[in-house]
Amino acid sequence: MARRTDHSRDELFDLVLNASQQIIELEGVSALTARRIASRIGYSPGTLYNLFDNIDEIVLHLNARTLDDLYQQIFEKVDQSTGRAKLDRMITAYLQFTQPTNQRWNLLFEHRHPNNQTLPDWYQERLVRLLDLIATILQSLLPGCGEREINHSARVLWCSLHGICSQAGENHLDGVNARTKDEMARSLIYNYVSGLKRAG
Amino acid sequence: MARRTDHSRDELFDLVLNASQQIIELEGVSALTARRIASRIGYSPGTLYNLFDNIDEIVLHLNARTLDDLYQQIFEKVDQSTGRAKLDRMITAYLQFTQPTNQRWNLLFEHRHPNNQTLPDWYQERLVRLLDLIATILQSLLPGCGEREINHSARVLWCSLHGICSQAGENHLDGVNARTKDEMARSLIYNYVSGLKRAG
DNA sequence: ACCTGAACACCGTTCAAGT
DNA sequence: ACCTGAACACCGTTCAAGT
């Protein structure tokens, strides 16, 4: 009905992402719906579809932000350290970020994109930047290792850590005598890196 | 309206699970809805709620079956082999099972249960049986390792492999120069075990 | 005791109609 | 050009009413 010129396209874009972030932090990932986002910013649901193809695209934009934050967290903590301490600080920063109460982390792996299409460039860039940071840290521990091998290892670690934090962080392993998420993540990373050292 | 005595409670239970399995295999995980299950077995949606608390419980029962099948697959392949070949066969069996086209595998990590309650015993048993099998295989490669340590490592591997297969199996890593899921899984398992050997 | 089916309170997404 | 809000085609779950 009414014409709204209160916000430019870019302002609206930010409004949507900010509202979405607030929703998941206050009410959890399952509360993130088109109708609730719209109501929170005072627009109708239809308006969202002028800016985004669908809800999944909003999720993807939020996730891009999350990757940036995780990058920043790791980067800051790792900065001043060397060698093994670098690895310790990385894993600590990562674990801190992936607390199951961190709804943004939960959202990061909720996204399901259609099988036929690849992830958009702006998302891939964020992910690559983070993977490259992990690779740099690994490289400092494995000086003899080639770049291709290091990149591969960084990706293996990234996926593996995700598995541990999503399974053990939720209570999917309750009652099966698993140790804590932190112990599992540290076991993974130290033994994996140790194995790489041995191989290299 | 009509009273149905066509099926006993147990028969109905199996009907529901079989129909659910058919639905996900034919139409994918997202097609698994109460209404579709009910229509496929010729009952009304409400009937499902006599047998199950909610849809998630149906998912959990399907997943218990899936864990049994995965156990069987690994058990059969691994049986005749020893040492390193045992590990090779395990990972091959696992990778074969976790093809992204395997809807039952996809469903395995779709289940979200409420944070306050733990997984039911009948589910935990299936998972423990599988984890114990993995532990046995690890034990044969790491004879000096204590049982508690082996169990821990089996759980780390289980979660890590899940991470790799769910991230790299979908196209979440397209465009970031990742190698194949198989290469990543093998890198994980060989280097992790190698690291454990070095530590033990 | 078991089953129905209408009802409730939601979804994502579209699109004619308005300004 | 942008926004609305009703509409469409769905959800999970409940529960009075029927047999």
**Which residues of chain B lie closer than 8 angstroms to A160, CB-CB?**
159-161, 163-164, 188
> Is the pLDDT at A2 greater than 90, yes or no?
no
**Which residues of chain A lie closer than 8 angstroms to B176, CB-CB?**
124, 127-128, 131, 155
- Give, to the nearest 10 degrees, the angle between helix B9-27 and helix B55-78: 80
- The Cα-based distances of B30 to A101, A120, B14, B104, B110 in angstroms read 26, 23, 21, 12, 10
Give B58's pLDDT tier (boundaries 50, 70, 90).
Answer: very high
> Is the pLDDT at B1 greater than 70, yes or no?
no
**Interfacial B residues in 24-63 facing A (CB < 8 Å):** none
- Give, to the nearest 10 degrees, the angle between helix B147-167 and helix A181-199: 80
Distance between CA atoms of residues A31 and A28, nearest Å: 6
Give A193's pLDDT tier (boundaries 50, 70, 90).
Answer: very high
Flag whether residue B127 sits within 8 Å of chain A, measured between CB atoms: yes
Q: In angstroms, how far is D11 C1' from A71 CA?
A: 37
Q: In angstroms, how far is D12 C1' from A198 CA?
A: 53
Percent of chain B with pLDDT over 90: 80
| Across A123-151, average pLDDT | 96
Residue found under tokens 């599988």: B130
The residue among A101, A125, A51, A177 whose CA lies nearest residue B149 is: A177
> Is the pLDDT at B141 greater than 90, yes or no?
yes
B29: which 2 tokens? 């995980």
Residue B171's pLDDT is: 74
> Is the pLDDT at B127 greater than 50, yes or no?
yes
**Which residues of chain A lie closer than 8 angstroms to B71, CB-CB?**
none
Mean of per-residue pLDDT scores for chain A = 93
A110: nearest CA in chain B? B110
Residue found under tokens 């992790």: B192
Identity of the residue in A100, A167, A177 whose CB atom sits nearest the CB atom of B159: A167
> Contact, A192 vs A198, CB < 8 A?
no
What pLDDT, in 10s, does the model give residues A93-126? 999 999 989 999 999 988 887 767 889 999 999 9
> Is the pLDDT at A62 greater than 90, yes or no?
yes
Residue B2's pLDDT is: 44
Residue A103's pLDDT is: 96
Which domains, ranges and CATH numbers included, belong to chain B? 1-52 (1.10.10), 64-199 (1.10.357.10)
Distance between CA atoms of residues B125 and B129, nearest Å: 6
Q: Strand C: which positions are within 7 A of a protein CB?
A: 1-7, 10-16, 18-19
By mean pLDDT, which of A110-114, A187-191, B3-7, B100-104 is the weakest? B3-7
> Is the pLDDT at A129 greater than 60, yes or no?
yes
How much is the pTM? Answer: 0.94
Distance between CA atoms of residues B122 and B92, nearest Å: 27
**Interfacial B residues in 95-124 facing A (CB < 8 Å):** 100, 109, 112-113, 115, 118-119, 121, 124
What pLDDT, in 10s, does the model give residues B39-54? 999 999 999 999 999 9
B4: which 2 tokens? 């149905």
> Is the pLDDT at B3 greater than 70, yes or no?
no
Flag whether residue B151 sits within 8 Å of chain A, measured between CB atoms: yes
Flag whether residue B76 sits within 8 Å of chain A, measured between CB atoms: no
What is the CB neighbour count within 10 angstroms for residue A89? 18
- The Cα-based distances of B64 to A149, B59, B105, B126 in angstroms read 37, 9, 11, 6
Closest residue to D18 measured CA to C1′: B1
What pLDDT, in 10s, does the model give residues A151-181? 999 999 999 999 999 988 777 887 887 789 9
Residue A4's pLDDT is: 61
| Across A18-31, average pLDDT | 97
- CA angle, residues A180, B110, B123, in degrees to nearest 5: 65
Residue B31's pLDDT is: 97
Give A128's pLDDT tier (boundaries 50, 70, 90).
Answer: very high
| Across A86-98, average pLDDT | 97
What pLDDT, in 10s, does the model give residues B5-43? 689 999 999 999 999 999 999 999 999 999 999 999 999
Q: Please provide the DSSP assignment of chain B as one string.
A: -----SS-HHHHHHHHHHHHHHHHHHH-GGG--HHHHHHHHTS-HHHHHHH-SSHHHHHHHHHHHHHHHHHHHHHHHHTT--HHHHHHHHHHHHHHHT-TT-HHHHHHTT----TTSPPPHHHHHHHHHHHHHHHHHHHHH-TTS-HHHHHHHHHHHHHHHHHHHHHTTTTTTTTTT---HHHHHHHHHHHHHHHHHHH-
Give A5's pLDDT tier (boundaries 50, 70, 90).
Answer: low
A185: which 2 tokens? 């993540």
Residue A83's pLDDT is: 85
**Which residues of chain B lie closer than 8 angstroms to A152, CB-CB?**
178-179, 183-184, 187
